[in-house]
Chains A and B, each alone.
Chain A
Amino acid sequence: MAELSASSVGLTTADGRPLKAALATAQQRAKRRAFLLVLPLLAFIVITFIVPIGQMMHQAVYNDGFSANMPRLAAWFAEHPVGTDPDESAWQALALDLQDASAAKTAGQVGTRVNYEMSGTRSLFTSTARKAKGFAPPYRDAVLAAGAKWDDPVLWGTMRQVSRAYSGNFFLAALDMTHDPQGNIVAMPEDRQIYVNLFVKTFLLAGLITFTCFLLGFPIAHLLATLPLRWSNLLMILVLLPFWTSLLVRTTSWIVLLQQQGVVNSALVATGVIPDEGRFQMIYNQMGTIIAMTHILLPFMILPLYSVMRPIPPSYVRAARSLGATSWTAFRRIYLPQTLPGIGAGSLLVFILAVGYYITPALVGGASGQLISNLIAFHMQDSLNWSLASALAALLLGAVLVLYWLYDRLVGIDNLKLG
């Protein structure tokens, strides 16, 4: 409204220039300087953060292992609709592509790509490619002579699936789903469903770890906030000490403490609380993951809580007490609500870190304490199925963003206080 009236009247400076233009010129220099100052950081973030994440997201839907190395067959699939039986032209395309792949030594890549969707097919591609030099028409017989499995309609359905470089197949796989030969989306056989369960477990464990961090961190943060500065500084150093210790050292010390022949078990046996044969299994399982991760993530809960609690004057609780509230009521109705921004920030921080945590579960998680990030690492490093790893990671990222959005809707992001 004000802007409208100003422009309609056309306010000008003393020497007759339009006011807006004069303001822009006056501020231009400062703006340019400010931009140049943040430019290095901006470039750093784009190069090291946005580009890799973008690439990862791209990888999750793009895999040209088949289409780039088998162009003729890919073209045949593109020309003929789903359900067309492979005719001689298709067999010819397959044979010639395999010949080329053999020469270029890319048959393994192609086989690997198909193998992701249909296990046990990689060797078929490599062995057939070795014999591809001698292929002559009629190609169908020649290829079938090299490998009888080529007649399987399921294989042809799978090859059709992977013949497109862009596909949502990896996301389907990450959600324990697949295509049947007719191209419909169906659930994986029960014994091969692992990812959804692992996602659920990861979120449950992260939630549990967040809750334990809250239970343990709240009293400490309160103590930090109310102690005289001299003592609270000392305590703060103790809280921060884990930050300055190597993650490996911390995790290893948990192993020393918690293993079956470890300090805790031996102490319990020595004091007669448990018999020697009844030593607890506290590490290399879920419990180990929970204990070690709670310890490592605790400061991320304490610090936001502390920064919210510190400025709350004791007079609020005193006022509540003088107004007739018991100490519990005063805590619940007056103190706790005022620490909500800290609880929210701490919980969000711990949860997001826990959901993507890798090292600790890998070291002390055993078989049952593995989280989704361990599987992502497995696909990145061992199975080399980067597309699936990317799809899993993208799902994780998406889930965290959804949580963030939910938090914003429920609590409000401007209520977040990280320190």
Chain B
Amino acid sequence: MSVSHADAFVAFEHVQKSYDGVSLVVKDLNLSIAKGEFLTMLGPSGSGKTTCLMMLAGFETATNGEIKLDGTNINRVPPHKRGIGMVFQNYALFPHMTVGENLSFPLEVRGMGKADREAKVTRALDMVQMGAFANRRPAQLSGGQQQRIALARALVFDPKLVLMDEPLGALDKQLREHMQFEIKHLHESLGITVVYVTHDQGEALTMSDRIAVFNDGRIQQLAPPADLYERPDNSFVAGFIGENNKLPGTIEELSGDKALVRLANGELIDATPVNVTQKGQKTLVSIRPERVEFKPEMMPDGAHMIGAEVLEVIYMGDILRAVLRVAGSNDFVMKMRNTLGQTKLEPGQKIRVGWDPLDARALDPI
């Protein structure tokens, strides 16, 4: 899904942000978000993703460039007039108000009558299955319940755009995964636009329509989850999203969508060139561990097989994780499904591994 600047609901145009006047935290950001889209800003801390969210919410001003909401420039619109719902990392539920008062607050400041307010609050609480908790104080709720209330509060005044700043960061793993689905379902049923910030790649992959991977103040790649995972544009994205094997080498031949790479130990493999441009260039070939195969009968067409030595096999329940020595690197990982009758590998065993050349992506060396 690509969105042109013209019909974008939210648009960042050449946005730059500096806090100290010396360095840029956000460097020339261009991003268009369509109406109804679930867009995630993913990146390590300090990559500029939260700053972008804060600029969109109006708590930080852009040093340069334009931010547009529904076609109008909102650079100078104060946060309370933007009509954007926001869920904060620590929920930011007002501790001196009950849950009901918390939800009622955005309606009160909009001058809504008491009866309307109550109806809306009840509906919003029911939406997150918290109808019975209207008279509790936030401190009396568990983390997951507070999370739901924060969500309901951000949605109760029917904003068109909802921003979420690492909303699930404080929850334990199981609850986090459950809430991911709930947020996703709410997004789908309400048809709202969501901009979601996280540093958790699993969360980003599960929930998003598109993911913008941030690093060093720039978007490294903007793509749907599957593209991002299977076709990373550069070494940073390949390394940040999921587990990845990286084999250093040199481009030996380059022709269209095929490249021949000479690895460190002199072996030649086929790869798909991504951001390499000429012969003799240094490269990192990235291969996902689950796309590596060692059984000859399962080998995909055109696979190039190279020798490997098993160093360690780790039992992880649903999968087996084998660490191999391949082409001189000792941390090459292969994942095997723990199926009935899976071949047992032993440390020291010599095998041959291979993969589809489409899964071996020749990226820039870091």
A residues lining the B interface (CB < 8 Å): 313, 315-316, 318-327, 329-330, 333-334, 337-338
Contacts and interface: CB of A to CB of B under 8 A. Distances in A.
B157 A321 contact: no
25 contacts: A313-B92, A315-B88, A315-B90, A316-B92, A318-B57, A318-B86, A318-B92, A319-B92, A320-B105, A321-B80, A322-B80, A322-B84, A323-B80, A323-B85, A323-B153, A323-B157, A324-B80, A324-B157, A325-B105, A325-B109, A327-B78, A330-B80, A333-B105, A334-B94, A338-B96
Given A316-B94, A326-B109, 17 more contacts: A313-B90, A315-B89, A315-B90, A315-B92, A318-B88, A318-B92, A320-B94, A321-B80, A322-B82, A323-B86, A323-B154, A324-B106, A325-B106, A326-B78, A329-B109, A333-B105, A338-B96
A322 B109 contact: no
A327 B89 CA distance: 21
Nearest to B84: A322
Contacts of A320: 94, 105
Interface residues of B, number: 26
B79 interface: yes
A322 B95 CA distance: 17
Contacts of B105: 320, 323, 325, 333
B96 A324 contact: no
Contacts of B82: 322
Contacts of A313: 90, 92
A228 to B, nearest CB: 11
Nearest to B85: A322
Interface string B60-94: 00000000000000000011101111101110101
Contacts, number: 66
Contacts of A315: 88-90, 92
B106 to A, nearest CB: 4
Chain A binding surface, main DSSP class: helix
Nearest to B165: A315
Contacts of B58: 321-322
Contacts of B85: 322-323
B110 A324 contact: yes
Given A315-B88, A319-B88, A324 B94 contact: no
B181 interface: no
A320 B78 CA distance: 12
A337 B96 contact: yes
Nearest to B106: A323
Nearest to B59: A318
A333 B95 CA distance: 12
3 interchain residue pairs of minimum CB distance: A323-B106, A319-B92, A315-B92
Contacts of A326: 78, 80, 109
Residue of B86, B89, B109, B110 contacting most chain A CB atoms (<10 Å): B109
Contacts of A329: 109
Contacts of A333: 105
Contacts of B57: 318, 322
A396 B94 CA distance: 39
B21 to A, nearest CB: 15
Contacts of B94: 316, 319-320, 334
A313 B59 CA distance: 14
B157 to A, nearest CB: 7
A338 B92 CA distance: 13
A319 B105 CA distance: 11
Contacts of B96: 337-338
B203 to A, nearest CB: 20
A323 B92 CA distance: 11
